[in-house]
Structure 1
Amino acid sequence: MEVSKPLLIAVFACLLATGGFLVNWLNTRKQIRLLKLELDDHKKLIAQLTRSQQNFYNTIEEGQARSMAVARSVTSLENDIAALAKQIKTVSEQDPDSRLYQRAAEMLQAGASMDEVMHSCDLPAAEVQLLMNIHKPA
């Protein structure tokens, strides 16, 4: 039994094509497996980044809440300071001696000389010197 040459070539070509297809199919399966592994890694990274982002948002919200609390405290303290300053001014205006010292301190801060303060406020030099050391002009 003799097989024709073209038939042998056709069978060989079919075997070669089938082998090529099989190699290509195996390579494709391998690439798909690698891509699935890479996809899983990316999904894990996305989940981790999402958790980090949520932690970051929570940190920002906590910081904002703390800032608001501090702002309220500062406002309250500013109001308290203003009230105390008003009380101090009222008390100092009621005490004649402290009015002299207050006036002397204001004069010194405005740049008045020691002699001017002594004559204007009727204070001894030692007291004016002490006030000068406490209230140096800005």
Structure 2
Amino acid sequence: MLKTQIETQELFINELQSAQKTVNNQFVDVEDKLKNYYLENEQVSKQLEHRIKTLQQESALQKHLLEQLQNQQPQDKLYSRAFKLVELGADIEEVVRECDIPLAEAEMLISVHRNKTSSS
């Protein structure tokens, strides 16, 4: 009877050890999967951070270029108007007054116009 109890206890211990090994193996598998998910998430996160940084830089550049373009347009309009006045025969004082450009630039526009018309 004692021998049977010992054999039963040994069998029970063996079953518990086997179950413990199975649980440990499952735990290791889950731990490996979690590590892989963590690494994947970390890589995706780094890629997204890089992409966000790139997009922010592109956005800042586009904003800067847009501001430059907006600042340039009024100036271009003034010079287009000044050149049109010169073509219509306006004198230097009128070009300076109407277009709010420096005297030297008005003189240059008139000179360019004269050279253009004399070579045509």
TM-score calculated relative to the size of structure 2: 0.64
CA drift of 1:18 comes to: 1.7
Q: Which runs of 4+ in 1 moved over 2 A?
A: 86-96
Report the Cα distance in structure 2 between the residues aligned to 1:91 and 1:30, rounded to whole angstroms: 89
Report the Cα distance in structure 2 between the residues aligned to 1:50 and 1:82, rounded to whole angstroms: 49
Q: Which structure has the higher relative contact order (CA within 8 Å, separation 6+)?
A: 2
Report the Cα distance in structure 1 between the residues aligned to 2:10 and 2:64, rounded to whole angstroms: 80
CA drift of 1:80 comes to: 1.0
TM-score calculated relative to the size of structure 1: 0.57
Instruction: Indicate the RMSD between aligned Cα atoms, in angstroms.
Output: 1.8
The residue that corresponds to 1:14 in the other structure is: 6
The residue that corresponds to 1:30 in the other structure is: 22
Cα deviation 1:45-72 (Å, max 9, x = unaligned): 2101100110011000000001111111
Letter in 2 for 1:40: D
Cα deviation 1:59-95 (Å, max 9, x = unaligned): 0000000111111111111111111122234455664
Matched residue pairs, number?
88
Report the Cα distance in structure 1 between the residues aligned to 2:54 and 2:7, rounded to whole angstroms: 70
Greater Rg by CA: 1
Q: Point out where structure 1 has 5 or more consecutive residues left out of the alignment.
A: 1-7, 97-138
% of aligned pairs identical?
Answer: 8
